[in-house]
C-alpha cells in the first residue's frame, strides 16, 4: 500500500519530446514505472524509445489507459497542459515545470474545482512510491520501500531527508514533493490526510519552509486529526523579510510566514521539530522508537 | 519585480484608474519645469522602491517655482532612510512631480494573490495612509475583502459592496466601482502579484484619486510582458543579485561571512539555517539550480568572492540530476580560474558522489571536505572564524 501511485499506475508524459521530458521518461521507466504514452502536439504517431506519442492527452488516454500524467512542458504552456490532463480525466497529474505564472495557477485551480483530478505541483520534484512507481525527477536510488510518508515543499532538501532515512534503515511509503510555488495543487493538508488514512504509513515527515500559512494549516489539521507521529523541519529560519528565497512561495511578507510562527504552530500540535536539517532522519528514528514502531 | 510609483501610476492611467497629473523628473530643471506646467501647489516625491518616504522627508509640498527648485535640489542624490530601506537607505535618483489635491478622506485599496484561496483578493479599508499590516493586526474588522472569481473577473456588485462598506456617497460609489474594476483588470492583465493604492483619496470635489501606488509583478509572468520588463530599475537592485540573475542563479545577499553555494532553494535555506545553528552567519542565499554547468558554478564563485565580507565558502550539494562528478569538475575549474583565496568547504552527497570526491581529492586544491551538512557547516564556521 501507498498513497496515490503504485506499481499499477500507468503514466503518460506531456512534453515527451523535450530534453527534460526524454531524460526523465527514460529514468522513470528504468526505475520500473509503467510509462505508457507521451504527448506532444504535432508528433502523434511517432514514438520515444518504443513509447507511443499522441497529439492529445484524450487520445493517449483512450489508446493506452493511462491514469496519471507528468508534465515537463515549458512555463508558458504548463497551465494549459494541466487543464488538458484534467479534462481527459486523469486521476493524478504531476507538474514538474518551474516558473508557471501565478495567475495561470489561479485559473487552473478554478478549472480543477469539482473535477476528480489530483494535481501535484507545479515546481516540484514529483511523487515516488519506492520500489513501485517514480513520477518525477528525484534520484530513485536514494529511496527504500518502507512505512514513513514524506511530504515537502522542497526538492533537494527532500532528497537529503530521504537519504538520511535510508541510511538509518527507515524506508518510505510514498514521498510527495508538493512544490515551492504560492499556488499549488495538492497541499500539506491533502497529503497529511492521505498518509493518515493509508494503512501502510506509520509516521509522517513534513518539510516546510517560510512563506504563506500552509504549515500553520497543516499544524491545525494534525492537532485535530492525525494520530500518527509527525516530524517536521522548517527551512528559512535565517531568511530576511520581503525577499523571495528562490522559490516563488518562499517569502516573508508583512511579517507573516516566518519560520518561528510555523515552528510554534507545530510545537503546539505536538509535532516533533528536527533541531537541524541534518537531524531529520534521527528525529524520525526517535519518534518511531517512542511509538514502538521501531526497536 | 517592483517598479517606481510614477511607473505604477502611468500603468494605472492606461487602464483608466484615476491618478493625479504628474511626471517623472530626473533633474532639478525638469522638476521645476514640470511644476510650472502643472501649476501650484504641487508635490515633489522621491522615487525609491521603499515605503515610508513621507515620514523620512521624501515628499514635499511646494507653493512656487523657488520651493520646487529647493525641494528637487534637496531630494535628488539624497540618501533616504525609511523603515523599509534598512539603515543604509536608498539614493534618490528620480522624482515624481504631481499636482496637489485637496483631500477629504484617505482610504486604502489593495489587491494580492491570496495563497489560501488560490485567488486574487481585493482589500479595502477606511484606514488609508496607514500600513495595511498594521490595520490587520490592530483592527482586522476594518479590512473589507472580496475574492475575485477568475472565471468571471471582478464583479460590479463586489465593487459596490466594498464602496458602500467604505461609507462612500452614492455618486462616489459609481466612481469607486469603476476605479476598482480598472485596477482589477490591470492586475490580471499585467500579471501583478501586488497592487496597493494607499491612500486612495476622496478629493474636495468628490473625485477619487490614487494618491500613491505600489505595484509588484510576478517574476514568472514577466516573459509575456516585455514592455513591463523595461520598467526594471537596476539602481534599486543589489549588483550581485543582478549578476546572479544574468547567469540564471538565484542569489540574495545577507549580512554574514560564510558564502554558500547550494542546489535547490529548500536545501539552500536549510544550509543557511544550519550555519547559524553551528554558530556562524551566512553571507548569502545561493541556489545554483538543478542544471548547474561549469560556467554557472564559476559565475557563482565569482559572485561569492566579490563580497569582501565572505571569509569562507561552503558548498552543499545533494546530487540528483546534477551529478556530483559534474559539480566537482565545475568547482575545480572555477576555483583554479578564479583563484581561490579563502577556505572552501565542500559537502557532496548523491549521484556519483565517489567520483566527485575523487575529482576534488585529485585536484591539489586546498579543499576541506565534509561528511554531512552539519559537519560542513561547523568546518565552514571554524574556517571563517580563523580568518576574521
Q: What does the pLDDT profile of chain A (295 residues) look like in tens digits?
A: 689 999 999 999 999 999 999 999 999 999 999 999 999 999 999 999 999 999 999 999 999 999 999 999 999 999 999 999 999 999 999 999 999 999 999 999 999 999 999 999 999 999 999 999 999 999 999 999 999 999 999 989 999 999 999 999 999 999 999 999 999 999 999 999 999 999 999 999 999 999 888 999 999 999 999 999 999 999 999 888 777 776 766 666 665 788 999 999 999 999 999 999 999 999 999 999 999 988 8
Residues of A in contact with B285 (CB under 8 A): 239, 243, 245-246
The verdict on a CB contact (< 8 Å) between A209 and B269 is yes
User: Are β-strands A203-209 and A230-235 bridged in parallel, bridged antiparallel, or unpaired?
Assistant: parallel
Q: Is A254 on the interface with B (CB under 8 A)?
A: yes
Parts of chain B with a pLDDT under 50? none
Three-state SS sequence of A14-35: ECCCCHHHHHHHHHHHHHCCEE
Question: Quick one: closest CA in B to A100, which residue?
Answer: B220
Chain B neighbours among A 5-44 (CB < 8 Å)? 23
pLDDT on residue B238: 81
pLDDT on residue B385: 87
Q: Is B118 on the interface with A (CB under 8 A)?
A: yes
pLDDT on residue B131: 82
- Would you say B159 and B166 are in contact if contact means Cβ atoms under 8 Å apart? no
| Cα A134 versus chain centre, distance | 11
pLDDT on residue B217: 96
| pLDDT tens-digit series, residues B22-41 | 999 999 999 999 999 999 99
Residue B15 appears among annotated catalytic residues: no
CA distances from A186 to A152, A289, B262, B333 (A): 11, 30, 26, 41
pLDDT on residue A14: 98
Q: How close B134 comes to chain A (CA, Å)?
A: 9
pLDDT on residue B85: 83
Query: From the list B252, B267, B281, which residue is nearest A160 (CB)?
Result: B267
CA distances from B135 to A188, B1, B141, B152, B231 (A): 29, 25, 9, 30, 31
Query: From the list A75, A209, A275, which residue is nearest B266 (CB)?
Result: A209
Rounded CA-CA distance B277/B275 in Å is: 5
Q: Is B269 on the interface with A (CB under 8 A)?
A: yes
pLDDT on residue B51: 86
- β-pair partners for A71: A14, A95
pLDDT on residue B9: 98
The verdict on a CB contact (< 8 Å) between A217 and B116 is yes
Residues of B in contact with A103 (CB under 8 A): 113, 120, 150, 188, 191, 218, 221
The interface predicted TM-score of the complex, written ipTM, equals 0.91
Q: What is the pTM of this model?
A: 0.93
pLDDT on residue B340: 82
Query: From the list B133, B149, B320, which residue is nearest A137 (CB)?
Result: B320
Q: What end-to-end distance do the CA atoms of chain B give, in Å?
A: 35
A·B CB contacts under 8 A: 180
Q: Is B250 on the interface with A (CB under 8 A)?
A: yes
Q: Is A110 on the interface with B (CB under 8 A)?
A: yes
Q: Is A103 on the interface with B (CB under 8 A)?
A: yes
| pLDDT tens-digit series, residues B213-226 | 999 999 999 999 99
Q: How close A60 comes to chain B (CA, Å)?
A: 28
Residue B98 appears among annotated catalytic residues: no
Q: Is A245 on the interface with B (CB under 8 A)?
A: yes
pLDDT on residue B387: 67
Q: Is B241 on the interface with A (CB under 8 A)?
A: no
Amino acid at each position: 500500500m501507498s498513497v496515490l501511485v503504485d506499481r499499477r499506475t500507468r503514466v503518460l508524459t506531456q512534453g515527451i519530446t523535450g530534453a527534460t521530458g526524454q531524460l526523465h521518461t527514460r529514468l522513470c521507466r528504468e526505475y520500473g514505472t509503467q510509462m505508457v504514452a507521451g504527448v506532444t502536439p504535432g508528433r502523434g504517431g511517432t514514438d520515444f524509445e518504443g513509447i507511443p506519442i499522441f497529439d492529445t492527452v484524450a487520445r493517449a488516454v483512450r489508446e493506452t489507459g493511462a491514469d496519471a500524467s507528468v508534465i515537463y512542458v515549458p512555463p508558458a504552456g504548463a497551465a494549459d497542459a494541466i487543464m488538458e490532463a484534467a479534462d481527459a480525466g486523469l486521476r493524478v497529474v504531476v507538474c514538474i515545470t518551474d516558473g508557471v505564472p501565478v495567475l495561470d495557477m489561479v485559473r487552473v485551480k478554478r478549472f480543477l474545482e469539482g473535477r476528480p483530478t489530483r494535481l501535484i505541483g507545479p515546481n516540484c520534484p514529483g511523487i515516488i512510491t519506492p520500489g513501485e512507481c517514480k513520477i518525477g525527477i528525484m534520484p530513485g536510488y536514494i529511496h527504500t520501500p518502507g512505512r514513513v510518508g514524506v511530504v515537502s515543499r522542497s526538492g533537494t532538501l527532500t532528497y537529503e531527508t530521504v537519504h538520511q532515512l535510508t541510511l538509518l534503515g527507515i524506508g518510505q511509503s510514498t514521498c510527495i514533493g508538493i512544490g515551492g510555488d504560492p499556488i499549488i495543487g495538492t497541499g500539506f493538508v491533502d497529503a497529511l490526510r492521505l498518509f493518515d488514512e493509508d494503512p501502510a504509513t506509520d509516521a509522517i515527515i513534513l518539510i516546510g519552509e517560510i512563506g504563506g500559512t500552509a504549515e500553520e494549516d497543516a499544524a491545525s489539521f494534525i492537532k485535530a486529526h492525525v494520530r500518527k507521529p509527525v516530524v517536521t523541519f522548517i527551512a528559512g529560519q535565517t531568511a530576511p523579510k520581503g525577499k523571495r528565497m528562490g522559490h516563488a512561495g518562499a517569502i516573508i511578507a508583512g511579517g507573516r510566514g516566518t519560520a518561528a510562527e510555523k515552528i510554534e504552530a507545530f510545537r503546539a500540535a505536538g509535532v516533533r521539530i528536527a533541531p537541524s536539517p541534518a537531524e531529520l532522519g534521527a528525529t524520525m528514528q526517535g519518534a518511531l522508537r517512542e511509538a514502538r514502531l521501531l526497536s | 519585480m517592483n517598479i517606481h510609483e510614477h511607473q505604477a501610476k502611468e500603468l494605472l492611467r492606461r487602464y483608466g484608474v484615476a491618478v493625479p497629473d504628474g511626471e517623472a523628473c530626473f533633474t532639478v530643471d525638469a522638476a521645476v519645469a514640470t511644476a510650472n506646467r502643472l501649476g501650484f501647489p504641487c508635490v515633489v516625491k522621491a522615487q525609491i522602491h521603499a515605503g515610508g518616504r513621507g515620514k523620512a522627508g521624501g515628499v514635499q509640498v511646494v507653493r512656487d517655482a523657488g520651493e520646487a527648485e529647493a525641494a528637487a535640489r534637496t531630494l535628488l542624490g539624497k540618501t533616504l532612510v525609511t523603515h523599509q530601506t534598512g539603515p543604509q537607505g536608498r539614493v534618490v535618483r528620480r522624482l515624481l512631480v504631481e499636482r496637489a489635491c485637496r483631500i477629504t478622506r484617505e482610504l486604502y485599496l489593495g489587491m494580492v494573490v491570496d495563497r489560501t484561496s488560490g485567488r486574487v483578493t481585493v482589500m479595502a479599508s477606511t484606514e488609508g495612509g496607514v500600513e495595511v499590516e498594521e490595520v490587520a493586526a490592530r483592527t482586522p474588522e476594518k479590512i473589507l475583502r472580496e475574492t475575485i472569481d477568475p472565471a468571471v473577473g471582478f464583479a460590479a456588485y463586489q465593487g459596490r459592496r466594498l464602496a458602500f462598506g467604505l461609507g462612500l456617497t452614492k455618486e462616489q460609489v459609481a466612481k469607486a466601482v469603476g476605479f476598482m474594476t480598472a485596477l482589477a483588470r490591470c492586475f490580471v492583465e499585467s500579471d501583478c502579484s501586488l497592487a496597493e493604492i494607499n491612500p486612495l483619496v476622496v478629493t474636495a470635489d468628490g473625485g477619487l484619486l490614487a494618491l500613491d501606488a505600489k505595484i509588484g509583478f510576478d517574476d514568472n509572468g514577466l516573459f509575456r510582458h516585455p514592455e513591463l520588463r523595461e520598467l526594471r530599475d537596476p539602481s534599486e537592485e543589489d549588483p550581485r543579485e543582478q549578476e546572479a540573475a544574468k547567469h540564471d542563479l538565484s542569489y540574495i545577499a545577507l549580512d554574514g561571512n560564510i558564502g554558500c553555494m547550494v542546489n535547490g532553494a529548500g536545501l539552500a535555506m536549510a544550509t543557511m539555517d544550519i550555519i547559524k545553528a553551528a554558530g556562524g552567519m551566512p553571507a548569502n542565499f545561493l541556489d545554483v539550480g538543478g542544471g548547474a554547468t561549469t560556467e554557472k558554478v564559476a559565475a557563482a564563485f565569482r559572485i561569492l568572492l566579490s563580497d569582501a565580507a565572505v571569509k569562507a565558502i561552503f558548498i552543499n550539494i545533494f546530487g540528483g540530476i546534477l551529478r556530483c562528478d559534474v559539480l566537482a569538475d565545475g568547482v575545480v575549474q572555477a576555483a583554479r580560474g578564479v583563484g581561490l583565496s579563502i577556505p572552501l568547504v565542500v559537502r557532496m552527497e548523491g549521484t556519483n558522489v565517489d567520483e566527485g570526491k575523487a575529482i576534488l581529492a585529485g585536484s591539489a586544491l586546498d579543499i576541506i571536505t565534509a561528511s554531512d551538512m552539519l559537519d560542513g557547516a561547523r568546518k565552514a564556521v571554524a574556517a571563517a572564524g580563523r580568518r576574521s
